[in-house]
Amino acid sequence: MAIPDTSRIYPRTGDPQTVYLKNVVQNPRVLVGEHTIYNDFVHDPRDFERNNVLYHYPINRDRLVIGKYCSIACGARFLFNSANHSLRSLSSYTFPLFYEMWGLDPHPAEAWDNKGDIVIGNDVWIGYEAVVLAGVTIGDGAVVGARAVVTHDVPPYTIAGGVPAKSIRRRFVDKDVETLLRLHWWDWPPELVRRALPAIQSGDLPALEALAPAQG
């Protein structure tokens, strides 16, 4: 039974546009789960951190957390807190950032509003050129449409799209969503996921549930 080698950079032979994202990020504040892929047909996908994780300055100590089995399309971007010029001030100009020029005490982080980490759940699909803003959490199994701008949290197994992004519909009925979240199949051993693929791909939730490991 074939089990994917997730130590590789490229999961598919002859496809240099798709990478296992975990194997190309180096910033310790960008955390990516196993099997998550990123595709880029414009830039080298290995440059994900430089091209797609923006305004991610060390001073804020904010994180990008991406779960397992996610699919991230070309040009999806994650905008962090340093893009949020402070709205508490009477001016949106970043005076604290240029403290030397203005003779201020060095508190550059006061130049922007800190909204927190970006957290992407497991089995999430983020569409072409979507933008996710700081402080947003996208739940397990959610789908974000192409060129959506995500300014608020997206619930699990919800399709969201638009500018700003809004929930369009849930992918499954509530009972099935509850079952999927309880099973959290993405945490199963790869051998078991491989056995479960017929059930996963056919949408056979009872068959998937029957394969679930016993809860300790």
117 contacts 64 by C-beta, under 8 angstroms: yes
* Beta-bridge partners for 120: 66, 138
* Residues ≥6 apart with Cβ < 8 Å to 136: 118, 119, 150, 151, 152, 153, 154
- Which residues are designated catalytic? 85
